[in-house]
Amino acid sequence: MRIDIVSLFPEFVEQCAGFGVTGRARERGLLSLHGWNPRDHADGNYRKVDDRTFGGGPGMVMLVEPLRRCLQAMRADDPRPAHVAYLTPQGRRLDQARVRELAALPRLALLCGRYEGIDERLVQAEVDEEISLGDYVLSGGELAAAVVVDAVARLQEGALNDAGSAEQDSFEDGLLDCPHFSHPVEHAYGTVPEVLRSGNHAAIARWRRQQALVRTWQRRPDLLQGRVLSAADRRLLDEGLQPPATDPVA
């Protein structure tokens, strides 16, 4: 997959994507990143990329023309059409289902705004989709772009050392992930649940499913809204929500 980063600081995103799973995906040739800076396509000695907002008010707006030329150069660099996503708090909230769809694209371009944003005419003419990370404001789209690159990179076939681990992630089947434990079994902070040490794979899978259902119910009930649970899942959830049996009072 190819990802183009259109930004006043494309190196920021490229550096973020140099470590761990993303770095490895790039080394393995599963993902290529290409940075494009609108300042390289701006006019004059000052290479101006922003100006005041019409109608008055604070803040600057990124100009149409440097961005238009930058996108033109980006598109000309590869014949594959690029799906252009603009990172902005006005966009649709990103979720794992959309990440999966983006990860399946041959080419994605991430457009990063700074200041008050980008001239709306450029957005209307060039952008296919607006993506938000959540209901808060970052000082630019670069951190959000780095998040998208990471989430998409780990879904590229061969990026994770254990092919099964992406399927076990939170949200992959609309639920939060179950808790995980490692050595030592006994610690001052607690003991690893017995079932996980039992070697009984069916019991382990059942426990994990129950934990995922209970966590989702308790922490993110919105994820379960409008979802019809299977009878088996409902039973697991009901059972998991029961208070633990206490010893009868002597």
Cα 62 from chain centroid?
A: 25
Closer to ligand ADE at the Cβ: 46 or 136?
136
What span, in angstroms and rounded, lies between the C-alpha atoms of 52 and 230?
A: 56
Q: Which stretch binds ligand ADE (CB under 6 A): 6-14, 44-52, 126-134, 180-188?
A: 126-134
**Of the candidates 138, 192, 195, 223, which one interacts with ligand ADE according to CB under 6 A?**
138
Enumerate the β-bridge partners of residue 9.
Answer: none
- Nearest-approach distance from CB 129 to ligand ADE, in angstroms: 12
144 binds ligand ADE (CB under 6 A): yes
CA dihedral 84, 89, 90, 92 (to 10 degrees): 70
Q: 89, 107, 119, 209: which is the annotated catalytic residue? A: 89
Residues 69-108 that bind ligand ADE (CB under 6 A): 87-89
Find, among 67, 197, 81, 192, the residue nearest to 123 by Cα.
67
What burial class does residue 31 get, using C-beta atoms within 10 Å of its C-beta: 0-12 exposed, 13-18 middle, 19+ buried?
buried
Q: 65, 78, 116, 177: which is the annotated catalytic residue? A: 116
What span, in angstroms and rounded, lies between the C-alpha atoms of 29 and 32?
A: 7
User: Does the active-site annotation cover 243?
Assistant: no
Q: Which stretch binds ligand ADE (CB under 6 A): 53-61, 131-139, 193-201, 202-210?
A: 131-139
Write out the catalytic residue numbers: 89, 116, 154, 169
| Interface residues toward ligand ADE, by CB under 6 A | 87-89, 132-134, 136-138, 141, 144
